[in-house]
Amino acid sequence: MLKQGEPWPNDGNWYLADYQHEFITAQDDVVLGIMGRGSGKSMMAGITIAKHLKEGASGMLLAPTFEACDVTLNVVCEVLEASKTKYRHQRSKHYIEVKKTGSRLYYRPTESDKGIRGKTDLSFLVVDEAALCKRERYLEALGCLRGKIKFRRIYLITTPKGRGNWVYEEAMKPNARLIIRKTTDSPFLDAGFYETLESMYSGDFLDQEVNAAWIDINACLLYNESDYDKMSLGNAMHKTGKIN
């Protein structure tokens, strides 16, 4: 079991922030991590995937491109190796298989419609940089969640891209567990990183990329974590201390 503030398995160089711990250990059917740039979202996704693979559950990782998949896959492999979990990586067929349990992670880019349909016996779905992924691919992947493991988990991880984006609609559903954090909430970044982002971005774009605010493109309004308390959307907010 991963513990808050402690290193993840057998690697003293990596620690979990409280929001990462909340995300990884969440038991909800749908969990969304809406977070600012540079906050370790892919690391959080990778640890979540490795945890389920070691439990014997198979799943799928979606990301905008194969290159984006690789960022998360590197974390998955690092966690499995650090915990001495034997696995094989079939790069030509785009999956990782844990030898002891036989559980598999299929990974696919949403820029293509190939390789998603036809997969069965999957129990979890992780979508990294979800706001940049095509909703059609996400819906196709949902149809694959028919695994023998008795849970059906969906994880959406992203920096927000406005209230017109499909991820916003998913975040507003009553069964969604929503974790929103800013870049500046991360305990792993120094002030220089934020200053670099601040020099690159400004205005609404800075609020979106750093403060994890939802931008209403039509009305030019911004929504962030504090605004949700004022909205009667039937969505239970789950707040922790810091951001990934």
Please give the residue that has the higher pLDDT: either 119 or 67. Answer: 67
Domain assignments of the chain as residue spans, ordered by start: 20-182
pLDDT band at 38 (very low <50, low <70, confident <90, very high): confident
pLDDT tens-digit readout, 150-196: 568 999 999 999 989 999 999 999 999 999 999 888 888 887 887 88
101-117 average pLDDT score: 91
pTM of the model: 0.83
Please choose, from the candidates 151, 156, 118, 120, the residue with its C-alpha nearest in 3D space to the C-alpha of residue 138. Answer: 156
If pLDDT is split at 50, 70 and 90, which confidence band does 34 have? very high
Q: How far apart, in whole angstroms, are the C-alpha atoms of residue 31 and residue 153?
A: 8
Q: Can you give the pLDDT at residue 22?
A: 93
CATH class of 20-182: alpha beta
CA distance 91 to 108: 11
Q: Mean pLDDT of all residues in the chain?
A: 82
Q: Is the pLDDT of residue 135 over 60?
A: yes
What are the strands of the beta sheet with 176-181, ordered from one edge? 87-90, 95-98, 104-109, 59-63, 124-128, 153-158, 30-35, 176-181
Distance CA(244)–CA(230), nearest Å, equals: 24
Using alpha carbons only, give the angle 157, 162, 168 rounded to the nearest 5 degrees.
55
pLDDT at 132 over 90: yes
Q: Which is nearest to 55 in space by CA: 117, 114, 107, 105?
A: 105
